[in-house]
């Protein structure tokens, strides 16, 4: 039996081109950072210096209306930013993100 082909984690087939803003609740501060690329469970945040691997935070993806996300940093790219996995805080956010993803072109 042939083993499955290796998948490069940076070329996920479900990623979509997206330019937006994520407001990050970080302690008593609110950080605002650009987002590039989004998928059903993750996105890439452009922020230097980045948050550390494993950091968790609440954020708002600035759509109309904003979508609240619970995020965890999964990958850090020094000098560029970091990738997070996320879970929307409520069902309305899940529906809104699904509709958004359906309209975006693949990366």
Closest CA to 40 of 95, 80, 78, 97: 97
Question: Would you place residue 13 in the very low, low, confident or very high pLDDT band (cuts 50, 70, 90)?
Answer: low
Rounded Cα distance, 107 and 105, in Å: 7
Rounded Cα distance, 41 and 57, in Å: 15
Rounded Cα distance, 70 and 24, in Å: 10
Closest CA to 24 of 63, 68, 54: 68
pLDDT single digits (tens) 61-75: 999 999 999 999 999
Mean pLDDT of 25-52: 96
Question: Under the phi-then-psi rule, with left for phi > 0, alpha for psi from -120 to 50, and beta for the rest, what region is 15?
Answer: beta
pTM, whole model, 2 decimals?
Answer: 0.86
């Amino acid at each position: 039996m042939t083993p499955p082909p290796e998948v490069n984690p940076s070329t996920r087939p479900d990623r979509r081109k997206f330019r937006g803003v994520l407001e990050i609740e970080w302690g008593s501060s609110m950080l605002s950072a650009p987002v590039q690329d989004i998928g059903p469970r993750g996105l890439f945040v452009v922020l230097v210096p980045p948050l550390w691997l494993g950091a968790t935070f609440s954020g708002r993806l600035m759509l109309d209306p904003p979508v609240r996300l619970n995020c965890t940093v999964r990958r850090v790219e020094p000098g560029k930013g970091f990738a997070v996995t996320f879970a929307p805080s409520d069902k309305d956010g899940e529906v809104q993100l699904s509709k958004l993803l359906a309209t975006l072109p693949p990366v």
